[in-house]
């Protein structure tokens, strides 16, 4: 098995500072939130950010879906440091400094595009029981510019060093041209490009950029809700998750040397994945309901664990096993945080 090397895994996305707090149903209702959802902040949510920080026991964690995943992959691998590279845009402010420090602590090689027009993005994680409603105020994250960052020679060299690429669907709302440039590079060089459906609103409102990237996607992740929305948007006319996985696998693909792999997680139910021409179910690890502290980050952690095995060229089954392990660790803790070392063999 190849040993991981520096900058072997490349991620690009929205770096956000997560602000998590336990709230009640009244809070959700006040801001028109569903208990389990991910949305982009609108004008009516401005007050939410002011109100949530006044609540008791607020926790701040470095977040953003892709950044979480590459950080977990790095944690699972441990050594060498900086196997994972991360690109995204932040503000020149206190929250931006926190994100830089947290990336460094996680041994991720983060290269942020820093600008001072917009403040660093935040994400309010409103937790009720084992549900979490995420409201992202992208701010600076939305200011990522391909020509100001990705196209710079020193940055593009880091992209070229990678063997595996991962970008969450959330970044489609920011810079689809950056995603396409990376995806085409991966496809041309027969490297592995992975993407995530990320949230129902991506398939609903960003279907066009999503489908422009889809021919370059070697591995597609998503959860059961996202899969169902995607199927509906594409007119698959089925709500059978295995069938959705199969139809998604068979969508047009540029690099025919690699058959597309589709992986759909379903919370505590089996993970569904296309293995060759078959669809296989993989049971998740058992966990006592009382041990679940916060499901926020479970999907990101699954991808992170999966990627850590993928960069070592492990078989799909092994990648899924690593993903299940990482998710099982993360849901026992607040935010997408982890103990010092994994206990994974």
Question: Which sequence positions are flagged as catalytic?
Answer: 300
Q: How many CA atoms are closer than 13 Å to the CA of 237, on its beta-carbon side?
A: 0
Tokens of 197: 């459906």
d(CA 263, CA 294): 22
Sign of CA dihedral 295, 106, 68, 174: positive
Strand arrangement of the beta sheet that strand 219-223 belongs to: 109-115, 84-91, 9-12, 164-168, 192-196, 219-223, 261-266, 269-275, 278-282
Contact call for residues 136 and 33 (beta carbons, < 8 A): no
The vertex-312 CA angle with 192 and 318, nearest 5°, equals 95
Interstrand relation of 59-63 and 164-168 (parallel, antiparallel or unpaired): unpaired
């Amino acid at each position: 098995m190849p040993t991981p090397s520096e900058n072997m895994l490349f991620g690009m996305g929205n770096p956000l500072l997560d602000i998590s707090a336990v709230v009640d149903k009244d809070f959700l209702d006040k801001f028109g939130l569903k208990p389990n959802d991910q949305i982009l902040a609108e004008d009516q949510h401005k007050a939410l950010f002011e109100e949530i920080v006044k609540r008791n026991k607020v926790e701040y964690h470095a977040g953003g879906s892709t950044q979480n995943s590459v950080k977990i992959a790095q944690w699972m691998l441990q050594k060498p440091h900086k196997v994972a590279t991360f690109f995204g845009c932040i503000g020149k402010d206190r929250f931006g400094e926190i994100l830089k420090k947290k990336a460094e602590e996680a041994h991720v090689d983060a290269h942020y595009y820093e600008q001072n027009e917009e403040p660093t993005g935040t994400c309010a994680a409103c937790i009720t029981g084992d549900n979490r409603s995420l409201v992202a105020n992208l701010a600076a994250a939305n200011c990522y510019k391909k020509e100001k960052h990705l196209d710079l020679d020193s940055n593009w060299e880091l992209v070229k060093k990678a063997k595996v690429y991962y970008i969450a669907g959330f970044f489609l709302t920011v810079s689809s041209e950056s995603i396409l440039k990376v995806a085409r590079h991966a496809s041309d060089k027969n490297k592995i490009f992975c993407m995530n459906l990320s949230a129902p609103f991506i398939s609903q409102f960003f279907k066009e950029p999503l489908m422009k990237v889809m021919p370059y996607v070697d591995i597609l992740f998503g959860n059961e809700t996202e899969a169902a929305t995607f199927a509906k948007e594409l007119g698959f006319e089925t709500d059978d998750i295995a069938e959705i996985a199969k139809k998604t696998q068979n969508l047009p693909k540029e690099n025919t040397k690699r058959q597309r792999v589709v992986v759909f997680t379903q919370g505590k139910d089996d993970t569904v994945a296309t293995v060759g021409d078959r669809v296989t179910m993989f049971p998740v690890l058992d966990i006592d309901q009382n041990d679940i502290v916060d499901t926020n980050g479970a999907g990101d952690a699954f991808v992170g664990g999966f990627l850590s095995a993928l960069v070592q060229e492990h078989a799909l089954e092994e990648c899924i096993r690593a993903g299940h392990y990482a998710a099982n660790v993360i849901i026992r803790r607040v935010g997408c945080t982890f103990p010092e070392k994994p206990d994974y063999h």
